[in-house]
């Protein structure tokens, strides 16, 4: 049944759960009320029987004492005199001797007799009143047994019975009322619950419809209006709409970035491939030796650039897939020194009049991935070498002191290049972002180096910053926590 319920729409699930809980509550309170009423009515009948039995017993014992009769005479007198004067309508009286023989009864019994339960009669003869139920004609009767004594001698048992028909009729009406009331309440709860649930879930339906429209149209500008309750406050549905809107905004940003990334990637891949293809076509036609060597050299450079681009794309794809960096204890100063020497060799290879200086190298040990940190530091140095026509590049590793221990380890790469305009600084770490697109491509850059630096540093719990002014060079800083 629960499996079938789970296949229903959520509005029907909520409605049925609500109605089911209401049914349980109604059943609990209905049964409690019914059995409480039943117990109370039986207690009232027993109290009435006891009171009537005491009245009959006192009048009989008083009459016997006034006549100064012994036990046998009382029995004979009871046989002769009917007991109708003691019986009200619906009440039956019957007197038994010690052997259970009927000595007298009320006219209300007619030809019938109150049933005699020998066990209850014996209990009454022993001085303990008792109560039972029996069928008289077509009626169910509750019977009270009490000993009858004269001059401290038990001469018989007094039976006083009362019809339970009013009692059973009342309980029957109560049962009918409770059943009909429960049915009506459940029907109202089903209809009302469905209406309330449908109304309450309207914002959720709007969220679903909006999601379907966005999926079909790719319109990430659409938003869901936020509702407020009667007190002017945002409720849970409003929070859901706000969360959904934030998600759509983020999805729109990611989708736009992805689309731009794909376009940039296609462009970056197409450029070297076009150059290589063009040079191959020229070589097929036949070129003079000098021109052929130049074409082959250019194709080799573009192939190398293409290889770097693919490697960088693979690196970022692994980052997007959640690639984890290694966590080993490493000597950060040694990593900086190694990257510095590689950058110095690169400057010599490119034949640039650059002076690379290792200004300061504090001792620092960190937990991280040595290969990835070396890659991040060298990317910064590679950028500095490529974009600084002449001048100086200074590298340093400084561990700043702090009040509660060592502060962050700061790796700084400062160049004397053309600098970066302020409007470009917020985007400098974005993928394929170039300050000067034509110049960057001519220098062999892929436009992914700084994006990779940002990922690696953040994967180590660090931060990368840039400070620059046009014409005054740029300073890139990596901040990472040492041991």
4 falls in which pLDDT band (50, 70, 90)? low
CA Rg value for the chain: 51
Total residue length of the chain: 483
Among 301, 323, 345, the domain-final residue is 323
pLDDT at position 222, please?
A: 75
CATH number assigned to the domain comprising residue 91: 3.30.450.20
Q: Is residue 199 in a domain? A: no
pLDDT at 231 over 50: no
Q: Is residue 221 in a domain? A: no
Q: pLDDT exceeding 70 applies to what percent of the chain?
A: 86
Q: Is residue 186 in a domain? A: no
Element housing 21 (H / E): helix 10-66
For the stretch 286-340, pLDDT in tens is 778 888 888 888 888 778 878 877 877 777 777 776 666 788 899 999 999 999 9
The dihedral region occupied by 232, where left means phi > 0, alpha psi between -120 and 50, and beta the remainder, is left
Q: What single DSSP character describes residue 427?
A: G
Residues 242 and 136 in one domain: no
pLDDT at position 227, please?
A: 59
Q: Is residue 82 in a domain? A: yes
Among 119, 148, 170, the domain-final residue is 170
Residues 30 and 164 in one domain: yes
Answer yes or no: are the C-beta atoms of 449 and 382 closer than 8 Å: yes
Alpha-carbon distances, residue 335 vs 363, 368, 376, 384, 460 (angstroms): 11, 11, 10, 18, 15
Residues 280 and 331 in one domain: no
Look at the alpha carbons of 130, 134, 136, 139 in this order and tell me if their dihedral is positive or negative: positive
Residues 376 and 265 in one domain: no
pLDDT at 165 over 70: yes
Residues 425 and 287 in one domain: no
162 falls in which pLDDT band (50, 70, 90)? confident
Higher pLDDT residue, 378 or 88? Answer: 378
Task: Give the chain's domain count.
Answer: 3
Residues 37 and 103 in one domain: yes
Residues 116 and 96 in one domain: yes
d(Cα 55, Cα 86) in Å, to the nearest integer? 8
Q: Which domain, by its residues, includes 269?
A: 233-323
Higher pLDDT residue, 320 or 273? Answer: 273
pLDDT at 254 over 90: no
For residues 99-115, average pLDDT: 77
Q: Is residue 292 in a domain? A: yes
Q: Is residue 115 in a domain? A: yes
pLDDT at 429 over 70: yes
Among 128, 151, 170, the domain-final residue is 170
pLDDT at 394 over 90: yes
Residues 318 and 332 in one domain: no
Of 371, 364, 366, 363, the closest CA to residue 329 belongs to: 366
pLDDT at 410 over 80: yes
Q: What is the pTM of this model?
A: 0.51
pLDDT at position 64, please?
A: 59
CATH number assigned to the domain comprising residue 404: 3.30.565.10
Residues 358 and 315 in one domain: no
């Amino acid at each position: 049944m629960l499996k079938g319920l789970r296949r229903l729409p959520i509005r029907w699930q909520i409605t049925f759960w609500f109605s089911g809980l209401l049914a349980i509550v109604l059943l609990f309170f209905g049964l409690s009320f019914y059995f409480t009423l039943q117990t109370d009515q039986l207690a009232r009948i027993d109290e009435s029987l006891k009171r009537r039995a005491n009245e009959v017993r006192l009048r009989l014992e008083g009459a016997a004492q006034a006549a100064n009769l012994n036990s046998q005479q009382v029995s004979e007198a009871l046989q002769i005199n009917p007991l109708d004067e003691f019986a009200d309508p619906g009440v039956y009286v019957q007197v038994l001797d010690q052997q259970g023989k009927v000595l007298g009864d009320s006219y209300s019994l007619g030809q019938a007799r109150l049933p005699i339960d020998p066990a209850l009669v014996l209990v009454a003869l022993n001085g303990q009143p008792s109560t039972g139920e029996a069928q008289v004609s077509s009626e169910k009767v509750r019977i009270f047994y009490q000993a009858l004594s004269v001059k401290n001698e038990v001469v018989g048992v007094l039976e006083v019975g009362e019809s339970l028909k009013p009692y059973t009729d009342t309980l029957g009406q109560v049962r009918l009322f409770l059943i009909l009331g429960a049915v009506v309440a459940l029907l109202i709860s089903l209809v009302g619950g469905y209406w309330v649930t449908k109304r309450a879930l309207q914002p959720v339906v709007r969220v679903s419809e909006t999601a379907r429209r966005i999926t079909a149209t790719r319109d990430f500008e659409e938003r869901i209006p936020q509702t407020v309750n009667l007190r002017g406050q945002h409720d849970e549905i409003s929070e859901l709409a706000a969360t959904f809107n934030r998600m759509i905004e983020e999805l729109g940003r990611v989708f736009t970035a992805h689309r731009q990334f794909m376009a940039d990637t296609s462009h970056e891949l197409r450029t070297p491939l076009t150059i290589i293809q063009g040079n191959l076509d020229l070589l097929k036609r036949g070129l003079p030796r000098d021109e052929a060597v130049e074409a082959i050299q250019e194709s080799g450079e573009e192939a190398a650039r293409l290889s770097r681009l693919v490697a960088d794309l693979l690196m970022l794809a692994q980052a997007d897939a959640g690639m984890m960096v290694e966590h080993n204890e490493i000597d950060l100063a040694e990593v900086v020194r190694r990257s510095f020497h590689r950058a110095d060799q690169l400057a010599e290879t490119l034949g640039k009049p650059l002076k690379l200086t290792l200004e300061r190298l504090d001792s620092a040990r960190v937990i991280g991935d040595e290969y990835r940190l070396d890659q991040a530091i060298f990317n910064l140095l590679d950028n500095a070498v490529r974009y600084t026509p002449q001048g100086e590049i200074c590298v340093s590793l400084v561990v700043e002191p702090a009040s509660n221990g060592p502060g962050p380890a700061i790796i700084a790469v400062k160049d004397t290049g053309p600098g970066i305009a302020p409007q470009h600084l917020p985007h400098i770490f974005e993928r394929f972002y170039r300050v000067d697109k034509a110049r960057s491509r001519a220098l062999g850059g892929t436009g992914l180096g700084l994006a990779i630096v940002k990922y690696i540093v953040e994967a180590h719990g660090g931060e990368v910053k840039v400070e620059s002014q046009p014409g005054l060079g740029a300073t890139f800083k990596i901040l990472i926590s040492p041991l």
